[in-house]
């Protein structure tokens, strides 16, 4: 709560304001001003004025503390230019209305500094000797508290000091200034600690939610893509290869892994029987490697989750003083800030960019481009295309919220994938196509190396008209 008029009188009675000289004006926060003063008998001391709602006050700073500092604001700059070097000739409370008037003398000129300590409308107003306002900490036109207006506090004096206000219980062995300084400082520390705790809790809760979501996704992928069933189908197909004919798209065999129950194995009608078996074994190997990658990612996510929970327990516990808890939390947030800034910074997109209708197509020309696009410029629902059986560029179709990718855009991207590959000379080829979320990184693989799953196959030709349209809109990213 704010100070009442009797408490302000107690504070003023203890302060050596008269004959003190203003040495410096410090802006500790947007709502506070600190006057550094020198008194011939007391020496250097500091008078703190806060206009923060609910904690409006004025008192001496009686103990060392780390205070916030902000960029010097307009009013603080004005005070520096007008009152630094001035001697205080008078400091009184006007009546019982919580308005302190300080008369400042410098170079034969007098200035009036009014400090209004009202809980809902605190202000500091600097006036010339005749009451003309030079400026105010908070400009309030409706009250006439703007430069050039005349400030006269006398009409607002309520004279309401009828004895109903009392000075809060005194702490033995300390001055009233010391008591008020410590009381409000502890309140500010508590508020600061609460705000920091909330920031950290929000930050860590967000990180934990993302990791839990990632773990759930990885668990689902491990259940559906462990490779064991694909290898069983490959074994069944190899055991019954004599039944497979060229052009077959399916075969029914007895599953000796599951009590010889009949099972239908889908086939690629374009492949020869031996190639069908090899294709299944390759797919099983890819799925096995993908499973290993999922497990590694899951283990890393679990370690990160444990670390987050450990940090939460360490940072949000109530051990130590408020100053120690605040220092601990500020240190953590300072260490996190660079990573958050890097994440928020716009990143230059490598490679080439194209337009196809409302969709944007990204093309990585090198392994480094491919890696950068995968890591920083694509999301799970974006589409990935790559020439089959040939080294070449990764091509991505950026998703548009609420819109599916039309066939023409898919063909545009497929033609670009073939054009920027070693299969370009043949004029036609097959293209892998899947969403980014179905790509699996190769364990210990080269940068950008991935294994596609749930991929589809597109057969395309290098159509001159399509290429001319696309390449005419090419730009280096």
- Using alpha carbons, select from 87, 91, 118 the residue that is nearest to residue 102: 91
Average pLDDT over residues 226-237: 85
Average pLDDT over residues 397-404: 89
Q: Which residue has the higher pLDDT, 427 or 338?
A: 427
pLDDT above 90: residue 401: no
pLDDT above 70: residue 474: no
What one-character DSSP code corresponds to residue 395? E
pLDDT above 50: residue 159: no
Segment holding 124, helix H or strand E:
strand 123-128
pLDDT above 50: residue 174: yes
Separation between Cα atoms, residue 312 and residue 326, nearest integer Å: 14
Average pLDDT over residues 270-285: 89
- Provide the pLDDT confidence category of residue 163 given band limits of 50, 70 and 90: low
Classify residue 80 by burial, with Cβ atoms within 10 Å: 0-12, 13-18, 19+: middle
Separation between Cα atoms, residue 439 and residue 474, nearest integer Å: 26
Average pLDDT over residues 66-89: 89
Q: What's the confidence (pLDDT) of residue 157?
A: 45
Q: What's the confidence (pLDDT) of residue 164?
A: 77
Cβ neighbour number for residue 40 with a 10 Å cutoff: 9
Tokens read off for 299: 């283990």
pLDDT above 60: residue 377: yes
Q: What's the confidence (pLDDT) of residue 265?
A: 92
Separation between Cα atoms, residue 170 and residue 183, nearest integer Å: 12
pLDDT tens digits, 293-351: 778 888 888 999 999 999 889 899 888 898 889 988 988 888 887 666 555 555 678 89
Least confident of 161-175, 192-206, 364-378: 161-175
CATH tag for 5-154 (out of 2.40.50.180, 2.30.310.10, 2.60.40.420, 3.30.2270.10): 2.30.310.10
- Using alpha carbons, select from 119, 61, 114 the residue that is nearest to residue 91: 114
- Provide the pLDDT confidence category of residue 178 given band limits of 50, 70 and 90: very high
Q: What's the confidence (pLDDT) of residue 40?
A: 96
Ordered alpha helix ranges (H), 225-352: 228-239, 273-315, 322-344
Tokens read off for 97: 């209305």
Q: pTM score, two decimals?
A: 0.57
**Every domain of the chain and the residues it spans:** 5-154, 211-344, 352-476
Cβ neighbour number for residue 385 with a 10 Å cutoff: 30
- CA dist list (Å): 361 to 349, 366, 460: 11, 16, 17
Separation between Cα atoms, residue 277 and residue 392, nearest integer Å: 27
Hunting for tokens 């693989």 — which residue is that?
A: 445
Average pLDDT over residues 207-215: 90
Q: What's the confidence (pLDDT) of residue 477?
A: 36
pLDDT tens digits, 82-130: 999 999 999 999 988 899 999 999 999 999 999 999 988 899 999 999 9
R_g over Cα of the chain: 37
Mean residue pLDDT across the chain: 88
- Three-state DSSP at 120 gives coil
Separation between Cα atoms, residue 382 and residue 437, nearest integer Å: 8
The phi, psi pair for 330, rounded to 5°, reads: -65, -35
Classify residue 81 by burial, with Cβ atoms within 10 Å: 0-12, 13-18, 19+: exposed
């Amino acid at each position: 709560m704010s100070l009442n008029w009797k408490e302000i009188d107690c504070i003023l009675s203890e302060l050596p304001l008269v004959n003190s000289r203003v040495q410096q004006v410090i802006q500790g926060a947007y709502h506070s001003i600190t006057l550094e003063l020198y008194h011939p008998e007391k020496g250097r001391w500091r008078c703190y004025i806060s206009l923060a709602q609910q904690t409006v006050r004025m008192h001496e700073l009686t103990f060392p503390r780390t205070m916030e500092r902000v960029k010097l604001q307009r009013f603080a700059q004005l005070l520096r230019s007008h009152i630094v070097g001035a001697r205080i000739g008078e400091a009184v409370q006007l009546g019982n209305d919580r308005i302190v008037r300080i008369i400042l003398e410098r170079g034969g000129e007098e200035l009036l500094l009014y400090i209004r300590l009202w809980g809902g409308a605190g202000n500091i107003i600097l006036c010339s000797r005749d009451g003309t306002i030079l400026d105010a900490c908070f400009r309030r036109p409706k009250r006439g508290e703007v430069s050039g207006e005349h400030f006269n506090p006398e009409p607002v004096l309520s004279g309401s000091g009828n004895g109903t206000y009392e000075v809060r219980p005194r702490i033995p062995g300390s001055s009233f200034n010391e008591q008020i300084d410590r009381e409000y400082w502890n309140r500010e520390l508590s508020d600061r600690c609460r705000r920091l705790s909330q920031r950290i809790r929000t930050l860590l809760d967000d990180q934990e939610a993302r990791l839990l979501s990632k773990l759930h996704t990885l668990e689902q992928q491990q259940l559906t893509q462990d490779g064991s069933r694909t290898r069983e189908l490959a074994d069944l197909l190899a055991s019954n290869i004599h039944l497979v004919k060229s052009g077959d798209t399916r075969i029914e065999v007895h599953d000796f892994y599951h009590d010889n129950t009949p099972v239908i194995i889908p086939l690629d009608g374009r492949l020869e029987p031996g190639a069908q078996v090899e294709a299944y074994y390759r797919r099983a190997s890819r799925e096995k490697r993908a499973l290993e990658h999922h497990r590694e990612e899951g283990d890393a996510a679990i370690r990160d989750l444990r670390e987050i929970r450990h940090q939460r327990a360490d940072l949000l516990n109530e051990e130590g003083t408020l100053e120690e808890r605040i220092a601990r939390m500020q240190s953590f947030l300072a260490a996190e800030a660079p990573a958050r800034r890097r994440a928020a910074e716009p990143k230059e997109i490598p490679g080439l960019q194209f337009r196809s209708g409302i969709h944007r197509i990204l093309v990585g020309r090198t392994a480094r481009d491919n890696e950068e696009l995968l890591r920083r410029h694509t999301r799970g629902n974006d589409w990935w295309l790559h020439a089959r059986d040939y080294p070449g560029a990764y091509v991505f179709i950026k998703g548009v919220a609420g819109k599916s990718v039309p066939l023409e855009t898919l063909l545009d991207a497929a033609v670009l994938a073939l054009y920027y590959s070693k299969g370009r000379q043949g004029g036609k080829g097959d293209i892998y196509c899947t969403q980014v979320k179905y790509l699996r990184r190769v364990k210990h693989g080269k940068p950008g190396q991935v294994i596609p799953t749930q991929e589809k196959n597109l057969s395309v030709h290098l159509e001159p008209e399509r290429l001319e349209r696309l390449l005419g809109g090419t730009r280096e990213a």
